[in-house]
Structure 1
């Protein structure tokens, strides 16, 4: 994962290309399907994650996990992101506040048996993309982007 993230910065790939490469290389190396989220919000993102890697030189971060066949409930995902963004409007670290709010209140957007999920919350301006089954990206109140997917 680290070398792929470095390549993303070195070759100046878009976040979409970076997420796709991350998925493809993990699959090639492990034979397993993975879901990944990547962002250039290196110093401002917050994540609830299975695996992550950061590239401090290129200021990139990625979060990955084994693919689940359960899709995110977009309704509950957007509702929780929006409610927590509202509650965190005046927080100095909005991404961490929103992540903690969703975690503390109990996520409602993954109905798989494990209830496991990966979530990346970024500030409003940075670029974020995913290559994931049933993932969803939502911009809340002009404050943060929430990106998430269910995990096996």
Structure 2
């Protein structure tokens, strides 16, 4: 994952290309399907994650996990992200506040038996993309982006 993230910065790939490449290389190396989120909000993102990697030189971060066949409930995902963004309006670290709010209140957007999920919350202005089954990206209140997917 680290070398892929470094390549993303070295070749100046878009976040979409970076997320796709991250997925493809993990699949080639492991034979398993993975879901990944990547962002250039290196110093500002917050994540609830299975695996992550950061590239301090290129200021990139990625979060990946084994693919789940369960899709995120967009309704509950957007509702939770929006409610927590509202509650965190005046927080100094909005991404961490929103992540903790969703975690503390108990996520409602993944109905898989494990209840596991990966969530990346970024500030409003950076780039974020995913290559994931049933993932969703939502911008809440002009404050944060929530990106998440269910994990096997």
Cα displacement string for residues 17-52 of structure 1 (whole angstroms, at most 9, x for unaligned residues):
000000000000000000000000000000000000
Cα displacement string for residues 106-151 of structure 1 (whole angstroms, at most 9, x for unaligned residues):
0000000000000000000000000000000000000000000000
Could you tell me how far 1:96 is from its partner in structure 2? 0.0
Cα displacement string for residues 80-115 of structure 1 (whole angstroms, at most 9, x for unaligned residues):
000000000000000000000000000000000000
Could you tell me how far 1:63 is from its partner in structure 2? 0.0
CA distance in 1, matches of 2:47, 2:65: 12
Output the aligned Cα RMSD.
0.0
Structure 1 residue ranges, 4+ long, deviating more than 4 angstroms after superposition:
none
Partner of 1:21: 21
The total of aligned residue pairs comes to: 152
Q: Unaligned regions of 5+ residues in structure 1, if any?
A: none
**TM-score where L is the length of structure 2:** 1.00
Cα displacement string for residues 54-102 of structure 1 (whole angstroms, at most 9, x for unaligned residues):
0000000000000000000000000000000000000000000000000
Partner of 2:48: 48
The secondary structure found in structure 1 opposite 2:7 is helix
Q: Unaligned regions of 5+ residues in structure 2, if any?
A: none
CA distance in 1, matches of 2:113, 2:124: 32
CA distance in 2, matches of 1:19, 1:131: 5
**TM-score where L is the length of structure 1:** 1.00
